[in-house]
C-alpha cells in the first residue's frame, strides 16, 4: 500500500498530499532487502526510470515519485556553487532568458512533512546506504528549509555510515 503524507509549501497555502507510487515503493523495498553494495546513484537511476514510465500518475503520485527521486538525485559534498549552502546540492542549474535560475533537482517542494517522511524511511530501512542517505537528508535539509535539526537524525546517519565501514555510502555521478 502506498505511503501517504501531507505536505505544504507555506502555512498560508493549501495542503498538498503525496502518495508514493507502488513501483517506487517496490524498488525501494528491493534495494533495502539487498545484501549487495549499491550507491545512491544506482537508486536514483532505477527511480528515475520508474517515474518516467508512469502512465497518467495522479498529482499526488507525481509529487510522491518526485520526492523520492530528489532524495537520491541531490549531489553530495560541499560545493562553492551550492545555492543552499548545504552538504546536498543541485546536480545542475539553468538560467532562462529573463535571468531566473532553476536548479536540478528543485527542492522547493521539500517541506517539514517530506523531511518527516525521510525520517520514517531512515528509521525503517535495513540497508545502511538507504538509512544513511535518508537520515543525512533529514538532518541536513531541515536546516535548509528553516526547521530545527534533530540530532537523532545526524546520529542515525553517522551510525549507518559506520556500518558501511570504509566503503563510501555515496557515489556521485
Cis bond leading into 105, ω under 30°? Answer: yes
Chain CA centroid to CA 36, Å: 21
Q: How far is CA 67 from CA 11, 17, 107, 137, in A?
A: 19, 11, 9, 12
Res 15: pLDDT: 46
CA neighbor of 112 nearest in space, from 74, 153, 143 = 143
> What digits encode the pLDDT tens for the residues 76-127?
886 667 888 888 989 888 999 999 999 998 888 788 899 999 999 999 999 9
Chain CA centroid to CA 47, Å: 11
CA dihedral in degrees (26, 120, 73, 77; nearest 10)?
-140
Cα 166 to Cα 29: distance, rounded to the nearest angstrom = 25
Res 43: pLDDT: 97
Q: Where are the domains of the chain?
A: 4-164
- The pTM is what? 0.83
Query: Is the per-residue pLDDT at 16 higher than 80?
Result: no
Angle ∠(16,21,22) on CA atoms, nearest 5: 150
Res 107: pLDDT: 87
> What digits encode the pLDDT tens for the residues 138-171?
999 998 888 899 999 999 999 999 988 755 544 4
Query: Is the per-residue pLDDT at 32 higher than 70?
Result: yes
Under the banding of pLDDT at 50, 70 and 90, the label for residue 4 is very low
Res 134: pLDDT: 96
Cα 46 to Cα 143: distance, rounded to the nearest angstrom = 28
Amino acid at each position: 500500500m502506498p505511503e501517504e503524507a501531507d505536505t505544504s509549501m507555506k502555512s498560508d497555502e493549501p495542503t498538498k498530499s503525496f502518495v508514493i507510487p507502488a513501483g517506487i515503493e517496490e524498488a525501494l523495498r528491493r534495494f533495502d532487502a539487498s545484501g549487495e553494495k549499491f550507491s545512491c546513484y544506482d537508486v536514483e537511476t532505477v527511480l528515475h526510470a520508474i517515474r518516467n514510465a508512469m502512465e497518467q500518475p495522479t498529482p499526488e503520485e507525481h509529487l510522491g515519485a518526485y520526492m523520492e527521486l530528489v532524495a537520491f538525485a541531490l549531489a553530495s559534498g560541499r560545493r562553492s556553487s551550492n545555492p543552499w549552502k548545504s552538504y546536498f546540492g543541485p546536480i545542475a542549474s539553468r538560467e532562462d532568458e529573463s535571468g531566473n535560475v532553476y536548479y536540478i533537482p528543485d527542492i522547493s517542494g521539500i517541506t517539514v512533512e517530506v523531511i518527516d517522511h525521510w525520517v520514517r524511511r531512515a528509521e525503517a530501512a535495513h540497508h545502511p546506504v538507504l538509512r544513511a542517505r535518508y537520515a543525512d537528508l533529514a538532518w541536513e535539509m531541515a536546516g535548509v528549509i528553516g526547521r530545527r535539526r534533530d540530532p537523532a537524525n545526524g546520529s542515525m546517519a553517522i551510525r549507518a555510515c559506520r556500518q558501511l565501514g570504509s566503503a563510501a555510502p555515496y557515489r556521485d555521478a
